[in-house]
């Protein structure tokens, strides 16, 4: 019986490798580590040979069947698929694009046994866009070993001359990762981007706009309460100061991530910038907002679905656009600014920096310390988040709350 996609997906690893037969000399080898390799066995002059067609699901069932059929036609015509593949590889040139695409595929879809998390969908999309827009048009067809540092510098200067310096630096960093992969796989001798360190104009950093004055924070909260736009957008604005997560983490929030009984929002690692699961303790105020929001968007997978379809979250710019409608310019307040607002005020109130950094989900260089902190300080973070919500309510009411009313952990 031919295989089906469902049968392949449900095939579980065992202590020893085992085969699932597709027919026509094609089979799928299921390994103990969970990887699933397509194998095609054939005979040439009485000698049995084996050819790999790749890994499932990167090579789906339909594609594996197509490769089998092509190989069988070649054998019937007197050829040898293995010999032909070697000959094809021998004449192939390792271009910048070939290696870049191979590197990107490895990052976006790492092997099951690599213990590496794949790029988040947003990061993968940005990386592929940067390749297609800036590096591949000029360098893609060039053999990677023939590209000189000066040639790459010309490409980066074109980006820089468009006034997007940060993008030029990111493109250099992306090229460096591709070159390091080429070196590791024996297809380049060195990373030529090292020769360009300091060659690009420095990035002029600009802090994201945020309101941090307590009186102005109270005014902002009252203004948000008066927002007359879409309910989902209104609740995104109202919830932002209570949870102060990154805008992308908020807009793509899913209802199944929330445990209202435990008063926790558990954001999975794949949606976090630092690729670690993050817990946001929910204050009484945040819980009340979520209960109200559920009446509007509980039908959807997302808390804040897009207007045209409930199958996608609202756009990246929705919260910023709403702030503009409320009269706040890009130099005054942004969606990301709620993080700076909370960080500044909580630090001024004397809360322990570790608690604040943990709640902001910033990277911890010491992995052991990071694991200990995240596991052991959740109770303290819950106290801080409730005190923070109470502080915001007082500011909304127009009370100038003294710093001494909040207690450091």
Please tell me whether the peptide bond between 57 and the residue prior to it is cis, using omega within 30 degrees of 0.
Answer: yes
**Residue 16: other Cβ atoms inside 10 A:** 8
Q: How far apart are CA 180 and CA 315, in angstroms?
A: 35
List Cα–Cα distances, 179 to 154, 189, 379, in angstroms.
17, 9, 45
Annotated catalytic residue within 68, 336, 381, 396: 336
Q: H-helix or E-strand containing 386? A: helix 378-396
Catalytic site includes residue 296: no
Catalytic site includes residue 273: yes
Q: 288 by DSSP, 3-state: which?
A: helix
Q: H-helix or E-strand containing 280? A: strand 278-281
Query: Is there a contact between 218 and 207 (Cβ–Cβ < 8 Å)?
Result: no
Annotated catalytic residue within 339, 381, 391, 396: 339
Show the tokens assigned to 162.
Answer: 């468009």
Query: Is there a contact between 171 and 136 (Cβ–Cβ < 8 Å)?
Result: no
Catalytic site includes residue 302: no
278-281/26-30 β-pairing: unpaired
Annotated catalytic residue within 67, 246, 251, 278: 246
CA 200 to chain centre: 27
Annotated catalytic residue within 273, 275, 312, 377: 273
Query: DSSP string covering 322-375, please?
Result: HHHHTT--TTT--STHHHHHHHHHHHHTT--HHHHHHHHT---S-HHHHHHHHH
Catalytic site includes residue 362: yes
Long-range contacts of 46-54, Cβ-Cβ distance < 8 Å, separation of 24 or more: 49/80, 49/82, 51/81, 51/82, 51/85, 53/26
Catalytic site includes residue 242: no
Annotated catalytic residue within 9, 162, 372, 407: 372
Catalytic site includes residue 336: yes
- Helices (runs of H) and strands (runs of E) counted in the chain: 17, 7
The order of strands in the sheet holding 258-259 is 258-259, 264-267, 278-281
The residues facing 19 across adjacent strands are: 29
Annotated catalytic residue within 14, 362, 369, 407: 362
Active-site positions?
246, 273, 336, 339, 362, 372
């Amino acid at each position: 019986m031919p295989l089906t996609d469902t049968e392949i997906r449900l095939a579980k690893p065992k202590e020893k490798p085992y085969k699932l037969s597709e027919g026509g000399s094609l089979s799928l080898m299921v390994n103990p580590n969970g990887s699933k390799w397509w194998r095609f066995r054939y005979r040439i002059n009485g000698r049995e040979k084996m050819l790999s067609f790749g890994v499932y699901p990167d090579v789906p069932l339909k594609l594996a069947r197509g490769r089998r059929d092509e190989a069988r036609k070649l054998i019937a015509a007197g050829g040898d698929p293995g010999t032909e593949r070697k000959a094809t590889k021998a004449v192939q040139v390792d271009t910048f694009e070939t290696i870049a695409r191979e590197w990107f595929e490895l990052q976006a879809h790492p092997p099951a046994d690599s213990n590496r998390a794949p790029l988040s969908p947003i990061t993968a999309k940005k990386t592929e866009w940067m390749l297609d827009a800036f590096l591949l048009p000029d360098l893609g067809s060039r053999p990677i070993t023939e590209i000189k540092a000066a040639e790459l510098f010309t490409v980066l200067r074109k980006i820089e001359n468009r006034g997007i310096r940060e993008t030029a630096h990111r493109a250099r960093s992306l090229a460096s990762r591709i070159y390091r992969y080429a070196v590791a796989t024996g297809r380049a001798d060195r990373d030529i981007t090292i020769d360009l360190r300091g060659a690009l104009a420095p990035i002029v950093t600009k802090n994201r706009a945020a309101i941090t004055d307590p009186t102005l924070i109270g005014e902002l909260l009252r203004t948000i309460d008066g927002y007359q736009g879409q309910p989902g957008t209104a609740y995104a604005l109202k919830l932002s100061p209570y949870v102060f997560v990154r805008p992308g983490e908020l807009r793509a929030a899913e209802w199944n991530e929330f445990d209202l009984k435990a008063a926790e929002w558990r954001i999975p690692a794949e949606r976090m910038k630092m690729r670690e699961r993050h817990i946001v303790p929910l204050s009484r105020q945040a819980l009340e907002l979520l209960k109200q929001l559920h009446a509007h968007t509980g039908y959807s997978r997302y808390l804040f679905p897009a207007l045209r379809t409930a199958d996608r979250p609202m756009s990246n710019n929705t919260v910023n656009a709403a702030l503009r409608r409320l009269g706040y310019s890009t130099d005054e307040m942004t969606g990301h600014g709620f993080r700076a607002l909370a960080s500044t005020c909580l630090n001024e109130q004397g809360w322990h920096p570790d608690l604040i950094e943990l709640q902001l989900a910033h990277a911890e260089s010491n992995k052991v310390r990071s694991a200990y902190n995240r596991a052991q300080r959740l109770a303290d973070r819950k106290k801080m988040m409730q005190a923070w919500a109470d502080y915001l309510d007082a500011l909304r009411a127009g009370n100038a709350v003294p710093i001494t009313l909040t207690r450091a952990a």
